[in-house]
Every structure is written in structure tokens, then in C-alpha cells.
Amino acid sequence: MLNVGLTGGIACGKSTVAQMFVRLGGQLIDFDKLAHEVQKPDGSAWQDVVVLFGQEILRPDRTIDRDKLAGIVFNDPEKLKALNGIVHPRVFEAWYHRLENIKASHPHAIVFSDVPLLFEAGLQALFDLTILVMVEPTEQVCRLTTRNAICREDAELRLSCQMPIHDKIPLADIVIDNQCALTETEAKVADVWRGLIEREKAKGAAPKQQGGIWRMPDEK
């Protein structure tokens, strides 16, 4: 099994790229979905989140209003840190179980774990290699304002809560520039997929090699 960490900046198209890998045969574990699951009513993190932020973050059906919660934590770094301290341990526990289940049923699978803050949290050692999906910061802001129907100032505030995208590039083993037409991104993903298949085969045949960082060729 090849354990791949997939990350990117906000509004870089990471989820789109993840689905491209799934269509090619990859297995996907989405950390955002895991975070949603553990914060569902009576989920493993739900009660602690409600105790910390109060009943006012709940909808009538007892689910957490994630937009309201985001409005609180993105304006208060300490509250964001406290929220992460509650949610992240439960997410990693759920991730580990998913990974083990996939390994048991598909020993040669290529598993993509979609982790938004992979580099911010220093999680590289959990994976065989990491893939970064990126666009330029100005494009991130443009996409975020359109996607989330928020103003430019709010979009820039959300970007400021993450490591700048250009600081992530040297930390990644593979970089996919997604600031292009969808068909071009699909071609890049297919090229990366072929390389991952070879890596998974080599991993099963020999000890993991150190180094050998591979990136997509520079765009002309």
C-alpha cells in the first residue's frame, strides 16, 4: 500500500484533484469529512466543542453550525487552536482505523489522505510521500470569494490562517499547479498516477528510498 498525503491551500482545487485520483483507482480519506463526522451530534468531539463554544453554535437539530463556528475561530487564533485541540485527536483516530481497513482489504492500494493543514501541522512523517495542489494567492482569493460568497477581506483573513502556498512548495514531494484548464490538470494527475503505481510496486519490492523528490515539470 502507498500512503499519500494530499494537501493544498484553501480554494486551490485540492478536492477536485482528489476526485481525479479516485476515478483513476485511488482510495480517498477526506480529513474534512472525518472532522464533520466526529462533530456530529453525540460524535466523539461534539460535546467538548459545544461545551467550549456554547449552545449558540447549534442548529435546532443539534448539529453544529459550521459557518457560525468558522466565524468565531477565524477571528480568534486561540479559539481556533482550542477547537483543533479537541477535533484533531479524534480525526486521527478515525483516520488510522480507515487506513488499516483499506490495507487489510486492498494491500496494494494507493491511498490519498486529503489533509488541508498537512504542512502547518508537520504531518509529513505520517505518509510515504506528499502531493501539493496549488494556485497563486491572488487566484485563491478570487476563487474563495466566488465559492463562499464572502468579501475579499474575509477571504484574505482565511488565507492568513494557513501557511502561504509558496512556503509549502519546498515541503512537498510532488507539486501539481492547478492554475490551468481542467483538461490540463487531468493530464498532470494522470502522469502523477502512473508514477505512484510504480512507487507502490517498488515499495513492495525494496525498502523505502530516502530523497528522490519528484515534481511536475515546470510549465512553459
Q: What is the CATH number for 14?
A: 3.40.50.300
Residue 151 lies in a domain: yes
So what's the pLDDT on residue 159? 79
Residue 210 lies in a domain: no
Residue 138 lies in a domain: yes
Nearest CA to 144 among 13, 28, 42, 1?
Answer: 13
CA distances to 155, 182, 202 from 137, rounded to whole Å, are 11, 19, 36
Q: Do 39 and 150 contact (CB within 8 A), yes or no?
A: no
Residue 120 lies in a domain: yes
Q: Give the model confidence (pLDDT) of 147-198 as tens digits.
A: 888 888 887 777 777 889 999 999 999 999 999 999 999 999 999 999 999 9
Please enumerate in sequence order all residues whose Cβ is within 8 A of that of 110, keeping only pairs 6 or more positions apart, or say none.
1, 2, 4, 21, 25, 26, 27, 193, 196, 197, 200
Q: Give the model confidence (pLDDT) of 101-133 as tens digits.
A: 999 999 999 999 999 889 998 999 999 999 999
Q: What are 181's three cell numbers?
A: 484548464
How many domains does the chain contain in total?
A: 1
Residue 78 lies in a domain: no
Mean pLDDT in the chain?
89
Residue 180 lies in a domain: yes
CA distances to 11, 56, 85, 87, 192 from 51, rounded to whole Å, are 31, 11, 14, 13, 44
**Does the pLDDT value for residue 205 go beyond 80?**
no
Task: Name the pTM for this structure.
Answer: 0.80
Residue 62 lies in a domain: no
So what's the pLDDT on residue 156? 76
Enclosing domain of residue 194: 2-26+109-205
Residue 172 lies in a domain: yes
Q: Do 32 and 94 contact (CB within 8 A), yes or no?
A: no
